[in-house]
Amino acid sequence: MRDNKDRHLTAHDKPIVFEMRLIGQRSAGARVICRQKNKPVVMCDKETRKSLRTFKSLVQASDETGIGASNISKVARGMQLTAGGYHWKFGEHK
C-alpha cells in the first residue's frame, strides 16, 4: 500500500469551492462576502454593559463607527474584551 504522500489525484478528488459575491465599494476596494444572514450588533458601555446603540449588521457597525469589523466580531464572540472602547454583542437591543 502506498503512503498518502505518494497518492495521485483522481477524477473523484475535487477542490471545495465557496460561492462568493461582491457587494458595494469601500475605500479599500470591493468587499467579498460569503452568503450569510445579517445579525444585529449591539454597542454597549464597557463598564456598565448598558446598551448604547444597535446596528443592523457587523458591516454597518464597522462603517458607522470606524472600528474594525473583525475586532467587533471578536468581542461579540467573547475572544476579546473591547473594541474601540466599547463592549459588543450579537442580538437585539433591549
Question: What pLDDT shows up at residue 92?
Answer: 74
- Residue 65 is assigned to a structural domain of this protein: yes
- Residue 48 is assigned to a structural domain of this protein: yes
pLDDT along the chain (94 residues), means of 10: 50 49 53 65 96 94 96 96 96 66
Answer yes or no: are the C-beta atoms of 23 and 33 closer than 8 Å: yes
Q: Rounded to an integer, what distance in angstroms lies between the CA atom of residue 72 and that of residue 78?
A: 10
- Residue 44 is assigned to a structural domain of this protein: yes
- Residue 93 is assigned to a structural domain of this protein: yes
Name residue 56's amino acid: K
Question: What pLDDT shows up at residue 1?
Answer: 47
pTM higher than the cut 0.85: no
- Residue 47 is assigned to a structural domain of this protein: yes
Query: CATH code at 74?
Result: 1.10.10.10
- Residue 5 is assigned to a structural domain of this protein: no
Which residues are paired to 87 by β-bridges?
A: 44
Question: What pLDDT shows up at residue 16?
Answer: 46
